[in-house]
């Protein structure tokens, strides 16, 4: 089977829609049942942009960050995304594209690493938020750890609200084996996983 391209340009993010913030807030729910249907590359692009997309010439992003230091990194394991081969990818906000770090679908072992939460194996993809803590703590010291946890909450809520407007379902998962998730997602040394977000179509 041919490997997916090492670099995948993403469709440009949409900056307007008929979905209001109020509607998204009212409709958002945690969903742990997925339909095994694919999502599109355009939908994935929009979710990633909502998580950490660039929104200004200065490099500011969709989620606020203490000191604009941006300690978060977003990776994903894709299993059922139209136009994207199964594999592990890293989101590159500066160019709005994906870089493939490994081929193969690791949704099942990732669910096992999340203390056996097998329900998210049926999701189309799993977004993984990780952090390079030193980007923030070198300025703010130990309190920087608090800022990072606040920041990942901002980013995850962006994804949850964007999912509503795309007609998609998602959930947040914080219970997992950090070391195993890092190994499965090929995270580099010094990068720690914080949050998993399975996304897909609801049943």
Three-class DSSP category at 85: coil
User: In the prediction, which pLDDT does 81 show?
Assistant: 97
Instruction: Report how far apart, in Å, the C-alpha atoms of 195 and of each of 56, 174, 182 are.
Output: 26, 5, 11
Q: Token pair of 184, please?
A: 């499965």
Closest by CA position to 49, among listed 84, 8, 92, 17: 92
Checking phi first, is residue 116 left (phi over 0); if not, alpha (psi -120 to 50) or beta?
left
User: In the prediction, which pLDDT does 36 show?
Assistant: 84
Q: What would the pLDDT profile of 14-24 be if each residue is shown by its tens digit?
A: 999 999 999 99
Closest by CA position to 111, among listed 177, 169, 155: 177
Indicate if the pLDDT at residue 185 is higher than 80: yes
User: In the prediction, which pLDDT does 1 show?
Assistant: 44
Q: Token pair of 2, please?
A: 């041919």
Closest by CA position to 70, among listed 80, 78, 79, 58: 58
How sure is the predictor about 3, in pLDDT bands with cuts at 50, 70 and 90? Answer: low
Indicate if the pLDDT at residue 2 is higher than 60: no
Domains of the chain: 7-200 (3.40.109.10)
Mean pLDDT check: name the lowest of 26-35, 60-69, 124-133.
26-35
């Amino acid at each position: 089977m041919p490997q997916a391209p090492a670099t995948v340009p993403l469709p440009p993010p949409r900056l307007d829609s008929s979905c209001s913030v109020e509607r998204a807030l009212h409709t958002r729910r945690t969903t742990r049942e997925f339909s095994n249907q694919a999502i599109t590359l355009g939908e994935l692009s929009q979710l990633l942009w909502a998580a950490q997309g660039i929104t200004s010439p200065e490099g500011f992003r969709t989620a606020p960050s203490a000191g604009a230091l941006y300690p978060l990194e977003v990776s994903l394991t894709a299993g059922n995304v139209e136009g994207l081969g199964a594999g592990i990818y890293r989101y590159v906000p500066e160019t709005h594209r994906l870089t493939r770090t490994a081929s193969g679908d690791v949704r099942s072992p990732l669910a096992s690493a999340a203390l056996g939460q097998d329900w998210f194996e049926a999701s189309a993809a799993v977004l993984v938020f990780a952090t390079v803590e030193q980007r923030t703590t070198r300025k703010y010291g130990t309190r920087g750890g608090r800022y990072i946890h606040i920041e990942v909450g901002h980013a995850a809520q962006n994804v949850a609200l964007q999912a509503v407007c795309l007609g998609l379902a998602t959930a947040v998962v914080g219970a997992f084996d950090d070391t195993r998730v890092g190994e499965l997602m090929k995270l580099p040394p010094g990068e720690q996983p914080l949050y998993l977000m399975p996304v897909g179509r609801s049943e």
